[in-house]
Amino acid sequence: MASLPELPGVSTLSKYVTRVLGQNPGKFTLQGTNTYLVYHPASPSLLLLDTTGPSSASPLSSSALQTYLSSLRSAIASHPTQPARITDIILTHWHRDHTAAVGDVVRMLAKLNGAEEAKVRVWKFPCATGEGGSSDAWKSERTKDAELERDLEGLGGNELERTSDGTALHTLRAGQQFSLAPSGASPATNNTEDGVEFEVVHTPGHTSDSICVLLRDLSSSSPSSSATSPLALFTADTVLGHGTAVFASLSAYLSSLASLIDLLSTSGSAPIPLYPGHGEVVTDGLAKIKEYKTHREDREKQVVEALKAVEGGEAVTAGELTDSIYADTIPSSLKLAATHGLLLHLEKLREEGRVGRVAQPSPEGLDLGAAGGGGEVQIPQGWFDGWRWVEASEAVEGRL
């Protein structure tokens, strides 16, 4: 990738949003994780969207963590209405580069606020549990909420507000709203003429629990209408500031992109910015999301054409398909990643009954259990299998 623009440690993005960089740059985290303070300037209460943490390709040293925490402190200190405090931390998904430092942030805030004022709440949309026929794509995520909960076990009642069940994580719901009203206008009285509102949108694909958050301007709505104009969309890792996103389930990912397009299409003519989980602000959000969707649809067409072109309708492996689609257009160092991407397309086409999978035993001497169990290297399902184009009716019979 071409070199990325440098991002400052703290940037004021609008009247309502300040970005604090996670200080964990790397191959997957780009300039580092973007964490966002969201607020009304006339209210002392701030929301924090995401924290920081290491990822598989980027460590977070203790000095980098201290830099992040002190950036956060200075951003809180420069808030116009004092004494300002973070009341809620909202996590966009379980990935460690967004969640690992939650405990550190909570402890820092408790010290900053003093014991009586503490009580920050931590919110997260639950990972798919595997019940209700949920996709295999989410299998590895079933334990992630419990792991995060264990991380937060040691936090005391003066640091963190727990749920009535005693858990540290409060469960986010799709459509849940957080009101950011000026002081004196209690959210309960709905006196939010000049307020902004923060609404949770569940957008699975990158992970099962990924959310985006829509920031809405309540002052623009007339009392008779519930229509309010979006000010910005926080996209976490569903849409990034540079390059393309990765995802666990392509079919879920494409539906999520389609619903985001709907959400932004209903707004007026002014482009809505995206505030991504990594990388610079995207000024025209709708255009970027459409571009992501088109990119995936084009790749799907290539996969379908390549499978249809296989003589005799024989099964080919994802690796062979990579060679036929990419040929020499990408360096061999990128072929594994490309094959991984194609597998997600093949799995989506299989779910739709358009492609058949012919199971093949994995090569001898390769211990898939060890590779998949907790290590960094995971061999994706279907890596060694054959894939072939089938007529829809044949695929349905094949499944019976």
Binding site for Zn ion (CB under 5 A): 95, 97, 237, 277
Q: In this structure, how many other beta carbons lie within 10 angstroms of the beta carbon of residue 14? A: 14
In degrees, rounded to 5, the angle at the alpha carbon of residue 3 between the alpha carbons of residues 238 and 102 is: 45
What is the smallest separation between the CB atom of 182 and Zn ion, expressed in angstroms? 32
Closest contact distance (angstroms) between CB of 58 and Zn ion is 10
In sequence order, what DSSP letters do the residues of 100-142 get, joined into one string? TTHHHHHHHHHHHH-GGG--BEEEEPPPP-S-TT--GGGGGGT
Q: Of 100 and 218, which has the nearer Cβ to Zn ion?
A: 100
Minimum Å gap between C-beta 278 and Zn ion is 6
Nearest to 316 by CA among 383, 366, 250: 383
Structure letter (DSSP) for residue 352: T
**Contact predicate 261/290, CB 8 Å:** yes
193: which DSSP letter? T
| Shortest distance in whole angstroms from residue 97 CB to Zn ion | 4
Q: How big is the CA angle at 228 (ends 201 and 84), to the nearest 5 degrees?
A: 75
Taken as a whole, the chain contains a residue count of: 400
* 204 vs 277 by CB, closer to Zn ion: 277
Nearer Cβ to Zn ion (195/277)? 277
Q: How far is the CB of 209 from Zn ion (least distance, A)?
A: 10
Q: How far is the CB of 240 from Zn ion (least distance, A)?
A: 8
Task: Catalogue the E-assigned strands of the chain.
Answer: 10-12, 17-21, 34-39, 45-49, 85-91, 121-124, 169-171, 177-180, 196-202, 211-217, 229-236, 274-276, 316-317, 355-358, 386-389
Number of H helices, E strands in the chain: 10, 15
DSSP structure class, residue 273: P
Least distance (Å) between residue 229 CB and Zn ion: 28
- Rank residues 172 and 307 by Cβ distance to Zn ion and give the closer one: 172
Sign of torsion over alpha carbons 297, 301, 306, 310: positive
Q: How far is CA 232 from CA 86, 217, 276, in A?
A: 20, 9, 10
- Smallest Cα–Cα separation from 126: which of 103, 154, 148? 148
Q: Between 103 and 277, whose beta carbon lies closer to Zn ion?
A: 277
Instruction: Give 35 or 317: the residue with its C-beta nearer to Zn ion.
Output: 35
Residue 30 amino acid letter: L
Closest distance to Zn ion from the beta carbon of 277 (Å): 5
Q: How far is the CB of 231 from Zn ion (least distance, A)?
A: 23
Closer residue to Zn ion (CB): 36 or 389 = 36
* C-beta closer to Zn ion: residue 197 or 237: 237
Residues 6+ apart with CB under 8 A from 12: 18
* Nearest CB to Zn ion, comparing residues 169 and 306: 169
In the complex, least distance from residue 317 CB atom to Zn ion, rounded to whole angstroms = 28
Both tokens assigned to 1: 């990738």
Which C-beta is closer to Zn ion: that of 97 or that of 104?
97
Question: CA–CA separation, 334 vs 8, rounded Å?
Answer: 30
